[in-house]
Amino acid sequence: MKIQIKLIVLVLLAFTSFSILADSKSRVDKALLDASEKAKQPLIDSLRSYVEIESGSNDREGLLKIANLYEANLKSLGFKTERQASLVGTKADIVTGVIKGKGQLKLMLISHMDTVYPKGAIETQPYKILGNKIYGPGIADDKAGMAVIIHSLQILFKSGWNDFDSITVICNPDEEVGSIGSGGYIQSMAKNQDIVLSFEPSDDKKASGFRYAGVDPLILATSGAARVSLTVYGRGSHTGAAPENGRNALLELAHELLITRDLPKKNPGATLNWVQAISDGPQNQIPEKASAIGDIRIPRDGAELKLVEMIRETISKDRLVPDTSSEVTLIPRRPSYRADKRAMEVVAIARSIYQEINLHLAEVGTKENGDAIVGGGTDAGFASRSGAIVIEGLGLPGYGYHAKDEYVLSDAIVPRLYLATRLISILAKNGVPTKR
């Protein structure tokens, strides 16, 4: 009899839970959805204003211009702002805004203002709209993220919403070069937050061909990033009078780049791409020093250490030019990001929000054999080191990052605004997961 009663109770609980879940999926917040639709064109206007200010990571003047604009946007929403120079690099300004409310949630929203494009790229890759695609240098990565933050908050504040303890917005000027001057700051600020939402872009699935079903994805894991420096020391000598006395460091460097390029195949937890090479000295001298930089992405934490040891071992056993020596140095850049159990609970809420508007939210970067699938590194890595819950990929879906004809999908603007505003309001009302 007791067993039958327990079974009946379990069935009733299951039915009740299912009914609540089913009801929540169909309960659209019409006010937020209507506001998101009305905000679409203003967001597009903001996108244009951001894109037409060129702000490459080394363009201090452009970075200061866009920092001025973004700070003004935050002030118009009631934020108290401050500017501080990033620690290294161009030392352009990090923009931080803080606003206080009357609730419990401590929320941080992050994006970045720098791009990889050189000054003048806007002339050959102008802002333009073709069909449902909006083009421009850095438009997806990450000027759309900047815009989604501003217009999501504008929607919420216009409704009179203040159900939060504090909202902190950070926009940094050096993400594309590893957040070398702002990563520590982001990590320290995240320590005092309940949750951090990062507004990097996610891929347009049709263009990228990734295998996850869905309209738009969130990013659950990203690779760490590092650099490896390879320097070869040879012997200088006159190229005409006594070339035989020289020991050509450049030739040895070229040889070492070739024999190490496929090492990641034996160490699949890290990738390696040699991206820069240079030799010192005059053009009429056998080079006595040559160096190269390699970009390492780290799907599996710690794999970069093994890769560097493999590079050292390989070049020590196979030298082309005698009497030369080599030095290999690992330069850490950015930690990896993994969505933990708490973050996955928030992702489940986000997926239910998309279901409210009859869309499916995919998940990209799930781990296979402990590896992160997404190769790009983001500031979510720094934020997650703080212990806060971190969600990545809330910017606009697009494609062509760091390349010609970068774009975002205009069809995704309303769903993404609705996702951001609805998610923030739910987290403020119900709280965030606490168990790791």
Residue found under tokens 């327990």: 6
The first and second tokens of residue 17, run together, are 């839970």
SS (H, E, C) the chain: CHHHHHHHHHHHHHHHHHHHHHHHHHCCCHHHHHHHHHCHHHHHHHHHHHHCCCCECCCHHHHHHHHHHHHHHHHHCCCEEEEEECCCCCCCEEEEEEEECCCCCEEEEEEECCECCCCCHHHHCCCEEECCEEECCCHHHHHHHHHHHHHHHHHHHHCCCCCCCEEEEEEECCHHHCCCCCHHHHHHHHCCCCEEEECCCCECHHHHCCCCCCCEEEECEECEEEEEEEEEECECEECCCCHHHCECHHHHHHHHHHHHCCHHHHCCCCEEEEEEEEECCCCCEECCEEEEEEEEEECCCCHHHHHHHHHHHHHHHCCCCCCCEEEEEEEEEECCEECCHHHHHHHHHHHHHHHHCCCCEEEECCCECCECCECCCCCHHHHHCCCCEEEECCCCCEECCCCCCCEEEHHHHHHHHHHHHHHHHHHHHHCCCCCC
Cα separation, 301 vs 270, whole angstroms: 8
Cα separation, 283 vs 303, whole angstroms: 39
Choosing from 54, 93, 175, 203, which is the catalytic residue?
A: 175
Tell me how far the alpha carbon of residue 274 is from its chain's centroid.
Answer: 22
Compute the C-alpha angle 286/311/221, nearest 5°: 125
Per the annotation, the verdict on 29 as an active-site residue is no
Choosing from 114, 174, 200, 356, which is the catalytic residue?
A: 114
The first and second tokens of residue 342, run together, are 């708490």
Cα separation, 74 vs 93, whole angstroms: 15
Distances (CA, A) of 293 to 231, 267, 278: 9, 19, 9
Per the annotation, the verdict on 318 as an active-site residue is no
Compute the C-alpha angle 398/404/409, nearest 5°: 20
- Cite the active site residues: 114, 175
